[in-house]
Amino acid sequence: MSGKIRVLVGKPGLDGHDRGAKVIARAYRDAGMEVIYTGLHRTPEELARMAVEEDVDVVALSILSGAHGTLIPRFIDCFKKEKATQDLDVLILAGGIIPEEDIPALKEAGVDEVFGPGTSTETIVEFTRSHLKRPVA
Amino acid sequence: MGDIAAKGAHELFQGIVQGSRPHLSRAISHVENGARGAAELLSHAYKARKGALITGITGSPGVGKSTLVDGIVRELRKAGHTVGVLAVDPSSPFTGGAILGDRVRMGQGHALDEGVFFRSLATRGHLGGLSRHTGDVIALLDAFGFDHIVVETVGAGQSEVDIMRYAHTVVVVLAPGLGDDMQAIKAGILEIGDIFCVNKADLPGAERTRRDIEMMLDMKEPAGWRPPVTQAIAVNGQGLPELVSEIFRHQSYLVASDTLKEKNRWSYKAVLEEYLRLLTVGKVLELASRDGGLDAALDDLMQGKAGPMEVALKLLQKYWA
Ligand SMILES: Nc1nc2c(ncn2[C@@H]2O[C@H](COP(=O)(O)OP(=O)(O)O)[C@@H](O)[C@H]2O)c(=O)[nH]1
Ligand SMILES: [Mg+2]
């Protein structure tokens, strides 16, 4: 009846810059979504637990540290374990500074889309809305 | 997934009873969304309530509620209790969106603790500093079996009374130097606190704030429970053991004075009122806005053809049967 799209905006790893994460968090809020903001320096295990407890439809991870190759697959692993399923019905997005050549491996690991630093928030919000993996009541 | 069939409701409830986190969190979403089947799920949950002790944390934005909640959770875990946390933040009245940021203050200590469950809720247009579904979500957490449930309210000033109806113990948090302490006290916050906590005691003026509150409390008619006024520095955990032991003391008092039952009855009344509103006002507004009846009623009012009571009665007669 009055379902809302819920998004976890997470900052895994050690980099201390959350400007990008905050910009996208506000864009999602302005698009009428409920955004759970995790704060800095979260481990993949913590983010997975949060995503489960908040029952989000979308997880958007922002990484600038260059550690995406290990942190993101580890997050997805933990998330599947926490949810006790291999078949995630949650849209998983990554953003930040991620080189083109790393994208195929991330998608292989279960990331649905990777957005580069130049992507407009409108594009990200629109993509999110049209690629949800489960209906929102 | 806005539709959980009877089987879905039963399955979700079974998951909750067996201690499955994904089931609990999905169930909360269904309840928040008013999904079909949620009523059935809740009727299981209400029957399975185990009697968790419920603590509300309220106070103006920025006084340190979330940081304190983190410390309270840590102390409760040390004492061997499991804890469910609900943190409520406001939805934007314009877009309906929300940024739920209370998790930022959650320390690493119990982020992965199996004995802790944390859920952020948006107000979704509900006034009074809580989500409309707070009572129902508390029932789900209670059925899951947490010993304690801690609810952080929005803390947006005036109407913080809602939390009194759902919590056994209300902690009102203040901070020195906000300048709004006296304002808050005048606004009736004195009436809702079972415990007062002056946080940010590292800042100048904390002792003064504490004394002010004590003085105001002294002027009140003495009742069975004299609210204690504690001090804390939530960022480093100082004063947290004392705060939590006051919470325990208040809960023992409620049991000993036989007022716990009375409080529970009162919070069931709040839940019932929500449902009655939903079934009457909610239903009339929904149906009347669907077929133009609401617009017609507003036209009548604006053109002075009828008074508000008359118009409202007509709407009730037409749409509520
Ligand atoms: N100096 C000081 N700052 C604190 C203390 N407790 C919390 N804060 C800070 O106050 C700000 C707001 O805290 P938060 O817990 O989010 O407040 P809430 O809006 O009431 O939930 C944060 O920057 C905290 O770090 C304290 O004991 N002393
Ligand atoms: Mg807070």
A78 found inside a domain: yes
Report residue B179's pLDDT band, with 50, 70 and 90 as the boundaries: low
HEC readout, chain A:
CCCCCEEEEECECCCCCCHHHHHHHHHHHHCCCEEEECCCCECHHHHHHHHHHCCCCEEEEEECCCCHHHHHHHHHHHHHHHHCCCCCCCEEEEEECCCHHHHHHHHHHCCCEEECCCCCHHHHHHHHHHCCCCCCC
| CB contacts, 8 Å: A1 with chain B | 2, 33-35
- Using alpha carbons, select from B133, B202, B192 the residue that is nearest to residue B167: B192
**How many angstroms separate the CA atoms of B262 and B62, rounded?**
33
Does residue A71 lie within any of the structural domains? Answer: yes
In chain B, pLDDT over 90 holds for what percent of residues? 61
Q: Is A83 on the interface with B (CB under 8 A)?
A: yes
**Over the stretch B127-176, which tens digit does the pLDDT of each residue have?**
666 777 889 999 999 999 999 999 999 875 555 678 888 899 999 999 99
Residue B1: which pLDDT band, with cuts at 50, 70 and 90? very low
What is the rounded average pLDDT for all residues in chain B?
A: 89
pLDDT in tens, chain A (137 residues): 468 999 999 988 777 778 888 999 999 999 999 999 998 888 999 999 999 999 999 999 988 777 888 899 999 999 999 998 888 999 999 998 888 898 999 999 999 999 988 899 999 999 999 999 988 86
Give the closest-approach CA distance of B97 to chain A in angstroms.
4
Taking an 8 Å cut-off on Cβ atoms, the answer to whether A50 and B124 are in contact is no
Q: Report the complex ipTM.
A: 0.93
Coil, strand or helix at B20: coil
Protein residue closest via CA to atom 13 of ligand 1: B64
Structural domain contains residue A17: yes
Residue A102 domain-assigned (yes or no): yes
- CATH number of the domain at A125, please: 3.40.50.280
What's the predicted TM-score (pTM) here?
0.92
**Tokens 């979500």 label which residue?**
B137
**Contact between B23 and B16 (Cβ < 8 Å):** yes
**B178 or B181: which leads in pLDDT:** B178
Maximum CA pair distance of chain A?
Answer: 43
Whether residue A121 is contained in a domain is answered as yes
- From atom 3 of ligand 1, which residue's Cα is the shortest distance away? B200
CA–CA distance, A33 with B231 (Å, rounded to integer): 37
Give how far Cα B245 sits from Cα of B65, B241, B248, Å.
17, 6, 5
- A119 inside domain: yes
The predicted model gives B82-101 an average pLDDT of 92
Is the shortest distance between the CB of B9 and ligand 1 below 6 Å?
A: no
Residue B270 predicted with pLDDT over 90: no
Q: Residues lining ligand 2 (ion), CB within 5 A? A: B 65-66, 102
Among B58, B67, B88, B231, residue to substitute to test ligand 1 (most atoms within 8 Å of Cβ): B67
The two structure tokens encoding residue B219: 């002027």
- State how far residue B219 is from chain A, nearest Cα, in angstroms: 43
Best residue among B235, B236, B238, B242 to mutate for probing ligand 1's pocket (most ligand atoms within 8 Å of CB) is: B235
How many separate domains does chain A show?
Answer: 1
What pLDDT score was predicted for residue B185? 61
The reply to whether ligand 1 has any atom less than 6 angstroms from the CB of B67 is: yes
pLDDT given at position A18: 81
- Residue B177 confidence (pLDDT) above 80: no
To the nearest 10°, the Cα dihedral for B97, B64, B31, A1? -20
A135 Cβ under 8 Å from any chain B Cβ: yes
**Residues of B whose CB is below 8 A from A55:** 22, 25-26, 28-29
Q: Is any ligand 1 atom within 6 A of the Cβ of residue B165? A: no
Interface contacts A/B by beta carbons within 8 Å: 106
The residue nearest atom 28 of ligand 1, judged by CA position, is B200
Domain that holds residue A53: 6-130
CA distance B100 to B117: 16
A134 interface with B at CB cutoff 8 Å: yes
Residue A137 lies in a domain: no
Query: Quick check: B85 pLDDT over 70?
Result: yes
Q: Where does the pLDDT of residue B183 fall: very low under 50, low under 70, confident under 90, or very high at 90 and above?
A: low
| Gap from B120 CA to chain A (nearest CA, Å) | 7
Kindly list the structural domains of chain B, giving each domain's residue range(s) and its CATH number in brackets, ordered by start: 1-48 (no CATH), 49-257 (3.40.50.300), 268-319 (no CATH)
Q: Collapsing DSSP states into helix, strand and coil, what is residue B82? A: coil
| Cβ neighbours of B29 in A, within 8 Å | 3, 6, 55
Q: Which tens digit of pLDDT belongs to each residue from B43-78?
A: 999 999 999 999 999 988 889 999 999 999 999 999
